[in-house]
Amino acid sequence: MLEHLNRAMEDIDRNLDREIDVAELARIAVTSEYHFRRLFSMLAGMPLSEYVRRRRLTVAGAEVLDGERTLLDIAVRYGYTSGEAFARAFRAMHGVGPGEARRDGAVLKSQARMSFRLVVEGASSMDYRIVQKPDFRIVGKKARVPLIYEGVNPHIAEFIKGLGKETVERITTLTGGDPAGIVSVSDDFSPSREEGSELDYWHAVVAREDAVVPDDLDVLPVPAGTWAVFTNAGSFPQALQQMWADVYGQWFPSNPYEARQGPEILRTHFVPGAGDAEAELWIPVARAVRS
């Protein structure tokens, strides 16, 4: 899959002076647009749109310094509707306006062209299984929170603290599916999953089929499908966050699956007195079509 991803990266650079067709990039990468956006963001550490913007402004910066085209011609060439819009974007990246850069020969920033490769470190392996799961319901309480990649998310911690013991106990009594018990559910991400974007966070259970849900609890119906289930153990929350990164950075590029739309479910068991946790992460997947 990495070979196909790198072909898509080459296509981006060939088309910086026109609209980038993400559906075409996904076709080149032999995957869905949904999976391509998500995989790119996890591998690159930035949304696809941000990478394209920075590459355009890098190439535009070279043309500004070159002096052959007018600043307005360069602005239009790279998709800006006016010289003012181009100047604002140029200054936001380079710290200087295009006119000043041309006049004074300023030092500009550069976004390198990306390519991906698989780096194997040590002798570790990822433990996973593939599960075919019928439709089910997630039942609990949800909140809209910002996405934070490293460390404890204080918005989630505050939300859970505010639920109260009685509410959590009522949610727990509805459990009956796999994974069992209280789970953390992440759903409705932004397409690029950029840091600071919002998602729905659920403190919930996979409810048993006959569970009668109280009116004050939230319900998320989940259709039948395929799930990749990963397990690991380590310091909390670092080991769990690294597992998420490894799933997208190592497992997907090496296996014939792609992410599909749906909630991501995490079941965590804390080791008493150790500051560690054992985790089980459920990711909705589909078989990928590879050429």
pLDDT of the chain, 291 residues: tens digit per residue:
678 888 999 999 999 999 999 999 999 998 888 888 888 887 887 889 889 999 999 999 989 988 889 999 999 999 999 999 999 999 999 999 999 999 887 778 888 888 877 555 443 456 789 999 999 999 999 999 998 877 788 999 999 999 999 999 999 999 998 899 999 999 998 876 777 789 999 999 999 999 999 999 999 999 999 999 998 888 877 777 778 778 887 788 777 788 899 999 999 888 777 678 888 999 999 988 655
274 φ/ψ angles, rounded to the nearest 5 degrees? -110, -15
C-alpha 40/C-alpha 46 separation (Å) is: 8
**Is 217 in contact with 211 (CB distance < 8 Å)?**
no
E strand or H helix that includes residue 14: helix 2-14
C-alpha 24/C-alpha 22 separation (Å) is: 5
C-alpha 116/C-alpha 287 separation (Å) is: 22
| Domain residue ranges in the chain | 2-104, 127-287
Count the alpha carbons within 13 Å of 277 in the hemisphere toward its beta carbon.
17
Cα 37 off chain centre by = 8
Task: Please give the pLDDT value at position 26.
Answer: 92
Q: Tokens 């698989």 appear where?
A: 118
Q: Which residues pair with 200 in a beta bridge?
A: 144, 187
Task: Please give the pLDDT value at position 290.
Answer: 56
2-104 and 127-287, same CATH topology: no
Task: Please give the pLDDT value at position 118.
Answer: 58
**Is 270 in contact with 239 (CB distance < 8 Å)?**
no
Cα 286 off chain centre by = 17
Task: Please give the pLDDT value at position 277.
Answer: 82
Annotation: CATH topology of 127-287: Multidrug-efflux Transporter 1 Regulator Bmrr; Chain A (3.20.80)
Task: Please give the pLDDT value at position 126.
Answer: 63
Domain covering 2-104 in this structure, CATH number: 1.10.10.60
Amino acid at 75: A
